[in-house]
Each structure stands twice: as C-alpha cells, then as structure tokens.
Amino acid sequence: MPNIHNTKDFPGLKPLFKAMGYKKRSFILNIVEAGERETGPAWWDGGSRTQYFIADRRAKVSPAPCISNPFEFKRDVGFPTVTIGDDTAMITNGTFLGKPSALKIYATQSWIDNQGA
C-alpha cells in the first residue's frame, strides 16, 4: 500500500482530521508494528518544526512527550518515546520552511481498521 493517501479515501479518520484542524487533501500513513517509537526534535530549526501527538481510536488527540528546546536534549538519554498499539497511534504535523506540512500517521493496521468503530 502506498504511503500517500487522499483524506476522502479514509472516512473513518475524518474525526481525527477535524480534531487536528487538518485541511489538506492528502496525508501520509505508515503502518508499523506495535511498540515503542521515539519522538524527534520539536524545536524550530530554520523555519521548520515538527509537532508530535497521540491519538486513540475515538480521535481524542493529545500532545506526545517531546523535547521542544535543543538545550534540554541529552544525547545519552535520547528522545522521549510513545507506545504505538492497537488503541493508540502517533501523529506528526508541523511546519516545513514556513508552510504547513503533511500530516503523518504512524499506526498499526488494527488501529486503522477500527477507526470509527
């Protein structure tokens, strides 16, 4: 399955797009195995920034733990992690060179199949 999808092809995700305030026509879907996944840097860097969120099956979206200040990052500790499972997914959204970037969803196949259920 290709990673780039049209939002209209996934009507079960419509509440999620609405909760995120997402208005673009396409998004990126990455099917992953359940488990831990690191968030990345969430600070501004040259007009770009990524924000991290956790979403449940009912489109309840909350901020994921992340480091938003480069001076707080400790190389020996690494970035915070998010647990992706059948009931939670990680979503990234942000700004790339001053423009809104595409929404990226990292979820298990079970999470995608059970949206809107």
Give residue-wise pLDDT tens across range 78-113. 888 899 999 999 999 988 888 888 899 999 999 988
**Contact assessment for residue 20 and residue 93, using Cβ atoms and an 8 Å cutoff:** yes
**Over the chain, what is the mean pLDDT?**
86
Mean pLDDT of 6-14: 89
Please name the residue that has the structure tokens 């860097």. Answer: 45
Task: Tell me the torsion sign for CA atoms 60, 68, 31, 25.
Answer: positive
DSSP class of 67: B
pLDDT at 71 exceeding the cut of 80:
no
**Contact assessment for residue 38 and residue 84, using Cβ atoms and an 8 Å cutoff:** no
| Domain layout of the chain by residue ranges | 4-113
pLDDT higher for 58 or 91? 91
pTM of the model: 0.86
Give the pLDDT of residue 30.
93
